[in-house]
Amino acid sequence: MKDLRKLKAPKWLLPVLTLGLVGLGGYVAYSQMQTSQRQEMRRRLQTVTVERENLPVTITANGVIQPERSVNVSPKSSGVLKELLVKEGDRVAQGQILAYMDDSNLQGQLTQAKGQLASAQAGLQRALAGNRTQDVAQAEARVRDAEAALRQTEQNYQQNQQLYNTGAISQREYNTSLADRDRAIAQLNLAKQALSLQQAGTRPEDVAQARAEVIRAEGQLQTVQAQINDTVIRAPFSGVVTRKFADPGSFVTPTTSGSSVSSATSSSILSLAANNQVIAKVAETSIPKIKLGQRVTITADAYPDQTFTGRVTQIATQSTVEQNVTNFEVKMSIADPKNQLKAGMNVNVEFNVGTLTDALVIPTVAIVRREEGTGVLLASREEGKSRFQIIKTGVTVNNKTVVTEGLEAGQKVLLSFPAGERPPSRTPSIFPGMGGGQRGGGQRSGSDRPSGR
């Protein structure tokens, strides 16, 4: 043991061991760094497999909520508002009574018109019934009386003629008896004509005139009754009372009865708006894909977590040009049973125009553009390498783009780039010339750059 303790290590051995340990530590650190770099490269070089999918095709547009109809309700004639039956926010049905106007000045006219009609109807009944039997009998009696008078005067005339021929009476007395006979003949003729009229009854002309009087009286009564009916203010359509402009006792006029101009509402009673609809402006290149009855999906900025559905109800036949952009106005109904959407709210509309079946798609961010054309970077078997492949693209739906040429299902394309290979690029236009805002049926505006970060 003493001999072993006396043994000493050479002086050169300690530095050698130290250098060995340092070298071993550096090698281990270098190996770990290389492994980490390879893992980081593999992590950063993200790839995706080219697949076939069924893609819904949509066209997007911005819109606004507006009532289908909106009017300021007023009476047909100026007057005083007597009673108001609704308040702001009330939902009313078509024909529902909203208010009453004061009609006291029309009630007297109504009574007078009813009296005139009754008088005219009585005259018509008298004309249709003809003469009474008593009137005919009276006329017959007058005829008999005239006949008796004629006989008496005829006898006097005959006697006076004989006396005149013998010179017993003067010429004057003879002429007087002759005149009495002629007068009696005339009276008899008049009595016979009166009897004939009584027996014939009312003339057709008199009946027609009596009928005309009845019609005129009925027209006057209808006019007054219509004026009274107009004092009852009814809802022209189903909707919501949006504003109230007058209270009972206010004087209102008919000047804005069908107007929606806010500056002329002071003489109206209230404002009524129908059910809401969506109005959107769609680019002219997208209009051929929009059809009546087409289903739409609607989202509102006010309710970002909710979606509403609707259908196309009208497509404008005349375009509008704003800032050199030609658009067409499209109107849509909207299902909003809780009445959450208010007039004036901004919404986004997606028109569901169809489905692409079995389409070859890649993420839009994988598309790049180089001088030689639009394409993608295909993953290479050799680690860290890639190959540029030119492709032809179709429609873009959400974050995916259809590839029509250049790729096959199962190939892998890069979503990021190897170090030093990132080219400046942008997503190509799918349908040149079509306005932005269309997805699945047209072009995405702006540019996208592939990114794996």
Instruction: Give the other-Cβ count within 10 Å of 299's Cβ.
Output: 15
Quick: pLDDT tens for 65-74.
999 888 889 8
pTM over 0.75: no
CA–CA gap between residue 170 and residue 97 (Å, rounded): 95
Quick: pLDDT tens for 207-237.
788 889 899 999 999 999 999 999 999 999 9
Per the model's pLDDT, the better-predicted residue between 185 and 354 turns out to be 185
Give pairs for 176-180: CB < 8 Å, separation 24+: 177/153, 180/153, 180/156
Give 2's pLDDT tier (boundaries 50, 70, 90): very low
Amino acid symbol at 111:
T
3-state class of 408 per DSSP? Answer: coil
Question: Residue 12: its pLDDT value, please?
Answer: 62
Question: Residue 92: its pLDDT value, please?
Answer: 92
Question: Residue 1: its pLDDT value, please?
Answer: 45
DSSP-assigned letters across all residues of 335-392: --TT----TT-EEEEEEEEEEEEEEEEEEGGG-EEETTEEEEEEEPSSTT-EEEEE-E
Element containing residue 270 per DSSP (H, E) = strand 270-273
Residue 315: is its pLDDT beyond 90?
A: yes
Question: Residue 398: its pLDDT value, please?
Answer: 73
Amino acid symbol at 244:
K
DSSP-assigned letters across all residues of 51-100: EEEEEEEEEEEEEEEEES-EEEE--SS-EEEEEE---TT-EE-TT-EEEE
